[in-house]
């Protein structure tokens, strides 16, 4: 039963810090800011710990608040997609091992150039493996809007990838030949 579940703050931080941090980082493109947001989200969780009904509820709540805080931070900074792209490309203190493969890093850079609503939908879809229904509930948006953001975002990302990721095709071909 959900009511038998007792929220353990330390355990929740352990389990979800990677999720919250990754969401904030991919939404803001700034590692330092993402860390601040993650910290704020968990402190907010501490204040609302008594209202958490289950593990799923806590995860849903954390995703929702992380996305909302990231959007607030973006609005405060008035950062546009292209600015974020520059920040991510420059690394902003990210370690080399944090940046994954070059192809993955480039896809992340391109993702950061998308408009915020499309980026939010794609991050939740592909990082968190969420369904459009779950994304709609998390972002408190109509399902049709989310589906549209996913479709348009993916289309735009593909177009950008075709223009910017020449090495993607080259590497793929080299791998196939090898």
Partner 1 sequence: MSFEPIDDFERELQQALERRPAPPGLKRKVMNVRSHARTQRIRDHRVMWQRLAASVLLAGVLAGGVTWRNHEERRKGEEVRRQVMTALRITSHALDQMKTQLAAQDRDGGQ
Spatial separation of the C-alpha atoms in residues 8 and 118, rounded to whole Å: 33
Which range, of 51-59, 78-86, 93-101, 141-149, touches partner 1 by CB under 8 A?
93-101
Tokens of 48: 């609302």
The CA dihedral of 105, 110, 113, 117, to the nearest 10 degrees, is -90
Q: CA-to-CA distance for 134 and 140, rounded, in angstroms? A: 10
Taking CB under 8 A as the criterion, the residue among 18, 48, 151, 174 binding partner 1 is: 18
Question: Which of 33, 66, 74, 111 contacts partner 1 by CB under 8 A?
Answer: 111
| Candidate residues 126, 141, 145, 148; the one interacting with partner 1 per rule CB under 8 A | 126
Residue choice 77, 80, 100, 170 for contact with partner 1 (CB under 8 A): 100
Interaction site with partner 1 (CB under 8 A): 9-10, 13-14, 17-22, 25-26, 31, 35, 38-39, 42-43, 46, 98, 100-101, 103-105, 107-108, 111, 122-123, 125-127, 129, 131, 154, 157-158, 161, 168
């Amino acid at each position: 039963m959900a009511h038998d579940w007792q929220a353990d703050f330390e355990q929740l931080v352990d389990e979800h810090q990677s999720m919250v941090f990754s969401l904030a980082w991919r939404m803001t493109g700034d590692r330092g800011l993402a860390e601040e947001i993650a910290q704020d989200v968990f402190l907010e969780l501490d204040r609302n710990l008594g209202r958490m009904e289950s593990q799923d509820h806590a995860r849903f709540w954390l995703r929702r608040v992380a996305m909302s805080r990231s959007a607030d931070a973006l609005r405060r900074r008035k950062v546009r997609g292209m600015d974020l792209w520059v920040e991510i490309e420059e690394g902003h203190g990210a370690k080399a091992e944090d940046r994954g493969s070059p192809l993955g890093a480039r896809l992340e850079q391109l993702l950061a150039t998308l408009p915020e609503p499309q980026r939010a939908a794609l991050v939740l879809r592909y990082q968190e493996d969420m369904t459009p229904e779950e994304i709609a509930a998390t972002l408190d948006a109509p399902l049709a809007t989310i589906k549209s953001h996913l479709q348009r975002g993916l289309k735009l990302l593909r177009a950008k990838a075709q223009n910017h990721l020449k090495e993607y095709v080259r590497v793929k071909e080299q791998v196939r030949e090898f």
